[in-house]
A and B are shown apart, each in its own frame.
Chain A
Amino acid sequence: MSFLQFLWYAVICLLFIMFLVLDGADFGAGMASKLLAFRPAESNMIVRSISPHWDGNEVFLIAAGGSMFATMPFWYASLFSGFYILLFLVLVSLIFRGVAFEFNNVAETPKGKNAWMWVTAISSTTAPFLLGMLFTAMIQPVPMDSHGNVFVSLFNVVNPLSVLGGLAVTALCLFQGLHFFTLHANGIMRYRASSLAANLYWAAYPVEVLFAIALFFQTDFFKDHLFSTLILLVLIVFTTAWGHLSTGMRKEVQAYIANSLTIAFVVILVFVGLFPHVLIAQNPVNSLLIKNVSSSPFTLTVVTIVLCILLPILTTYFIWSYVIQWKRHDLSEFENTDKGAY
């Protein structure tokens, strides 16, 4: 494995982390728009906290997919054609979520607005759930031929580990959304969001324990990477507890950071566990390795140069867009108004 191959494996991992940390908050806020809100004004207040950002955040998923295609096309080809229906359902969720924000904004009747708000809430739940299933289905041994073609059965996609993975990612996104919202809200809604998060955290621990057990039985993580897997699992429990405590103590920034770290550790767990593979075949000789799936050294060099040029610029304006739009909203801004995005 060359340095560039390793670098891009890490970059793809980082892009998925950024996607789940940033867009995870958008999914979470989408769920909260029905879970935490009773009236349209409350839903609008929650969605308003993410509406300038969700589109840019979703690009991290597109960038991750694009980078995978560019730097490890054989992984991209096997993964995307193998987990066909799962990815299709992810797409459908993302499509509904994307247009629901806009259509909710332009709808005029309360009924129409409410319908699109429900679409937002449901698609914001299914998208992270399905992505969680994908992440945990792709770390298990799958039926694969010597050309890298994956032929999954229903059980390869829907099994205890993948369902727990789906639940875990959904929960992480919900926490992320609630934490993000508390940073952008004032008054009763801010209080309600952190109370809900503080209560829901109790459910996170059993999911994490069950997840670790399923990981033991359904993957080779403990066999291949015993030490790093254990450390990461401990870190995940630790940051979950940190997030829980901070939420209870109303330390909103800390809670947001803690949960972001939890998300990062979960994604790192997946990528470290797979390493040096990208897909594990039931017949081990067919497994895909990083060194075999990647593009030519020349292409890797080109995209690395492009990344080095663009990354500083991208990071700068991305952070700038968050900083200039940071504002705590009051519920009163959203009462008795039909004001949309403008």
Chain B
Amino acid sequence: MFDFALNVLPFARFQFAMTTIFHYFFIPMSIGIGLSVCIMETMYAITKNKIYQTMTKFWGRIFLIAFAVGVVTGIIQEFQFGMNWSQYARFMGDIFGAPLAIEALLAFFLESTFLGVWMFTWDKFKPAWHALMIWLVFLASTASAFWILTANSFMQHPVGYKLASSGHVEMTSFKALLTNEQLWYEFPHVISSCIVTGSFVVAGTSAWMIFRKQSVAFFRKSMRLGLVLGIVGCLGAVTSGDLQSGYLIKDQPMKFAASEGIYNHTENPAPWSVFQLTNTKSHKEYGKIEIPYMLSFLSYHKFSGSVAGMDEANRALHKQYDGKFGKDMDYSLNVNVLFFAFRLMAAGFGGLTFIALLGLWFSRRKKNSIVKQKWLTFILFLATFAPFVINTGGWLFTELGRNPWVVYGLLPIKDAVSPSTSTTSVIFTIVVYFLLFVTLASCMVFYAKKSLYKGPESIDKTIDYDNDDPFSKEAFNK
């Protein structure tokens, strides 16, 4: 199989990972900022306080830049299934196509149409009606995530299908697709992390502006809103993530064991390894730091019970699939990546919650106290970037953990790639995509930074953005 040097498979896989990870920077960001903007405009509709309108427009501008990059990188994904993975498209079309078509017809039309209306009708509608448009955009983006995860969940845990005589999967129950247990763990988890991402972009960049002492009152308000949403998102992500790993231990024991770095059946009760380096050849672990009882608790929510290791899972997989796919299938996973990706998520969401709480405490209505906490605003600024790393970790965890399958138990990755696609063209497109992404990302950061530094004054000059106490002496003397 791998006897010639430049097999197209690793390049096609690399391209998929690269384009998806890049796309997955911007989608959570735009969904999350979108929610913040929705809340800001709703606040404006309720309170009629002009500062909320400025906030809506200010963060709306950042939202639009992220949205544009998210949309254009999404088209790559849709085309790529056919271009690089035509065997997968043939195998999965009957299942995958339906959610994808519904995503386009239901979600994409809704979000892009109402975004177009929202952008240009500030004076045409009453604030409440105008806010409704951006809520529709947010709901549509969420629906879009739902439909694409429906397809992804099938790939993790196929349901409602039969194998046709042609060897492809055929849908037998649309309801089974929608009630896939995997979907209902995955969807809340992904949406929560989207909220975390967007909220921390709002909160973190606001903190940076407070650090720079520019329009402090405005950014304090924005930051607090971002932090509250961020905490909600973190709690959602941790809860849904915990439920999901409880499910994983039954559904994909191999992935779970790899994420814990255990080869042998653990003792009862099982200790949890905080840190270890795993040698995947000798099956040995180094530098282990363990917390007793913890793995039993994480897995079963009680202080007893042992967990099956990778060797056991490997035997089970061979027993189950050797008849159909042969003895040569390699079920081993990239243990170190999975191990640290899981800890990255756990530590990341925990850490973000902690600094968000600190940020909220120090920015409570006590004059300018947050301005004085330079260390905190700087850490909050750094936290802007954390969710992007966490999301990438989460994606790698889920998708690498599915190896060697594209569709779990049904289609190995090596059988999914396009037979007609040459290695040269994949390498060529990887290079161009890479250059394109670097350009897009730098332009995006450049323009987002410009928008940020222009400050809220560029939208409405009539408000004092440095003082949010209208009865203070300074405001009175102006």
Chain A positions 59-103 with a Cβ under 8 Å from a chain B Cβ: 59, 61-63, 65-67, 69-74, 76-82, 84-85, 87-88, 91-92, 94-95, 98-99, 101-103
Cα–Cα distance between A336 and B291 once the two chains are bound (Å): 67
Q: Which residue of B lies closest to A79 (CB)?
A: B82
A69 touches B117 (CB 8 A): no
Q: Are B72 and A99 in contact, with the CB atoms below 8 A?
A: yes
Q: A73-B93, A102-B64, A299-B170 are in contact. Are A85 and B57 (CB under 8 A)?
A: no
Interface string of B115-137 (1 = CB under 8 A from A): 11101111010000000000000
B105 x A307 contact (CB < 8 A): yes
Interface assignment of B73: CB less than 8 Å from any CB of chain A: yes
**A92, B440: Cβ atoms closer than 8 Å:** no
Given A58-B112, A70-B98, the answer on whether A299 and B171 have CB atoms closer than 8 Å is yes
- Once bound together, how far apart are the Cα atoms of A335 and B81, in whole Å? 46
Contact with A along B99-122 (1 / 0, CB 8 A): 011111110111011111101111
Q: Would A81 and B72 be within 8 Å (CB), given that A52-B117, A302-B171 are in contact?
A: no
B79 within 8 A of A: yes
A74: contacting residue among B69, B90, B170, B418, CB under 8 A: B90
Q: Can you list 18 A-B contacts (CB < 8 A)? A: A51-B119, A52-B119, A66-B100, A67-B97, A70-B100, A77-B89, A77-B90, A77-B418, A80-B86, A84-B83, A84-B420, A106-B61, A296-B94, A299-B95, A302-B174, A321-B114, A324-B124, A325-B117
Residue B329, interface by CB 8 Å: no
Q: List the A residue with the shortest CB-CB distance to B62.
A: A106
> Residue A295 at the B interface, CB < 8 A?
yes
Q: Is the interface of A mostly helix, strand, loop or mixed?
A: helix
Tally inter-chain residue pairs, CB-CB below 8 A: 217
Contact residues in A for B73 (Cβ distance below 8 Å) = 95
- Give the chain B neighbours of A311 by CB distance below 8 A: 105
Query: Which residues in chain A, 213-244, are within 8 Å of chain B measured between CB atoms?
Result: none
- The 8 tightest CB contacts between A and B, nearest first, are A73-B93, A80-B82, A70-B97, A81-B86, A77-B86, A70-B101, A77-B89, A52-B116
A-chain residues with CB within 8 Å of residue B274 when the two chains form the complex = none
Segment 297-316 of A: residues with Cβ below 8 Å from B: 298-299, 302-303, 306-307, 310-311, 314
Tell me if A38 counts as interface (CB < 8 A to partner B): no
The interface-forming segment of A143-151, A180-188, A256-264 is A143-151
Given contacts A56-B116, A70-B97, 9 further A-B contacts (CB under 8 A): A56-B112, A61-B75, A76-B97, A84-B421, A87-B83, A92-B436, A95-B75, A303-B101, A311-B105
Q: Which residues of A contact B81 (CB under 8 A)?
A: 69, 80
Residues of A within 8 A of B76 (CB): 91, 95
A65-B78, A95-B75, A106-B447 given; A101·B68 CB < 8 A: yes
Chain A nearest Cβ from B187, distance in angstroms = 19
Contact, CB under 8 Å: A56 / B113: yes
Which residue from chain A places its CB closest to the CB of B105 in the assembled complex? A310
